[in-house]
Amino acid sequence: MKREQAVLPEEAVLLRIFIGEDDRQKNLPLYEAIVLKARELHLAGATVFRGLLGFGRSSHMHGPKILRLSMDLPRVIEIVDSQEKINAFLPQLELMMGGGLVTLERVHVIRSPD
C-alpha cells in the first residue's frame, strides 16, 4: 500500500527541536520517537541532524571527548508542515519531552516533493 504524499502549502511552519543524543522516550532515543510520532500523524517530513558541539541553558558543553563513553551530542529535529498540522503535533511533542528547546518559524515553501 502506497502512502499518501503530504502536500505542503506555500506558507508553512518549521518546527525545530533541540535535544541531546542521550535523551530517551521509553525504550527509544527521543529523536527517533519524535520522528516516528510525526510520521504516524502524517506530517510532511522530518529530518534529524547530529551536532558536533553545542551548549544549552546550563552552559554545559556537549561534544566529542576522547575518554568519554557517552558523548550526548546535540540533536536537532526539523519538521515542516502547515500551521494547523504543526499545532496539532505540539501537544504530542510536549508529552514526549522532558527538556530541550522547541522553536517555530514561518517559512516560505519554494518547492515540495511531487
User: For 46-87, how does the pLDDT look when each residue is reduced to its tens digit (9 = 90+)?
Assistant: 999 998 877 776 666 666 664 454 567 899 999 999 999 999
C-alpha cell at 84: 494547523
Does the 21-73+81-108 domain belong in CATH 3.20.20.60?
no
**Res. 15: pLDDT tops 80:** yes
The residues spanned by each domain of the chain are: 21-73+81-108
pLDDT in tens, 54-64: 777 666 666 66
CA–CA distance, 33 with 98 (Å, rounded to integer):
13
Q: Which amino acid is it at 34?
A: I
User: pTM for the full model?
Assistant: 0.83
